[in-house]
Structure 1
């Protein structure tokens, strides 16, 4: 029950930050797709960096266990193309469509319906996909630190430093 409550609280907080960051707005979505407004990219990139630090800190303190999934290039590429196509067609990504619906934007229902239909199609085609796409470029359960043979903190440091530089560059360019 505590896990469910923690999930609910973090979900509500994430939705609050999505709304406060103004990333639920259609003009921000369109700006990101046209590479003219990096608000969404900056928000998500910051979230990834904070999440990276948080997950590994919790892991090092023994409060969380890593569950690394296999890196499968075929599935990643096909999934990325499908995600991008859906985002481009509806103008919302999965998280922002739920948030936009919460703000009363009924056009977001199409995004949520698309996710449900996409999930159903994936479930129905999974036996075929498992035998084909999910075998293309299976690199196994790897992480960048494992690949380099070093501790995860120097890698995180490089990502955070690079991320800060990229975010500052976006700010200087007015993106």
Structure 2
């Protein structure tokens, strides 16, 4: 059943990406150039609402924290994030939007997806050599913003409920999304 749910959710996610314009690299590039902020508004709203929903469901016990995985931070995460961000800015695709664009038949998306697969394979081949380098130096281990019921994790705000922290962040992101103009030059 979980594979069926994954397929249904993936199809829904791709559909939403297509509908908001995230499968069009020019819209993404215009967002990154701060020319068209429609997509940024959608992203901020989605992050705010989904964060609020996730932490509310965690707090209400509908989701077990054991089902979530908090990853440790490493120097390589920062380096990899910078490389991904550069690739995103150059191509106009991130992994999700690249797959959604491929689903629409875009040839540039095919090259993007193939390039990502080649990059992943190359990383797999050189992983053993990189494992002992500074790229895997820990930046403090596993940490969350607030207490989530898992005492094994460090928190930035240990005495504040994760629902309150997520709620505050969600409200801030939703307000920013609401106040952002659609296009550069519109009133802010």
TM-score range, shorter chain: 0.7 to 0.9
Q: TM-score, normalised by structure 2?
A: 0.82
Question: 1:53-68 to 2 correspondence within 5 Å?
Answer: 53-60=52-59, 61-64=61-64, 65-68=67-70
Give the equivalent residue in structure 2 for 1:167.
Answer: 177
CA distance in 1, matches of 2:43, 2:128: 32
Between the two proteins, the alignment pairs up a number of residues equal to 173
CA distance in 2, matches of 1:48, 1:76: 20
- The alpha carbon displacement at 1:6 in A equals 1.0
Higher helix share goes to which structure? 1
Answer 1 or 2: higher relative contact order, Cα 8 Å, separation at least 6.
Answer: 2
What is the root-mean-square deviation in Å for CA atoms of aligned residues? 2.0
Q: Structure 1 regions of 5+ residues with no counterpart?
A: none
Q: TM-score, normalised by structure 1?
A: 0.87
Give the equivalent residue in structure 2 for 1:90.
Answer: 91
CA distance in 2, matches of 1:128, 1:51: 38
Question: 1:98-137 to 2 correspondence within 5 Å?
Answer: 98-137=99-138
CA distance in 1, matches of 2:82, 2:92: 15
CA distance in 1, matches of 2:63, 2:167: 21
CA distance in 2, matches of 1:170, 1:87: 22
Q: Cα distance 1:133–1:166, how it changes in 2: closer, same or farther (>3 A)?
A: farther
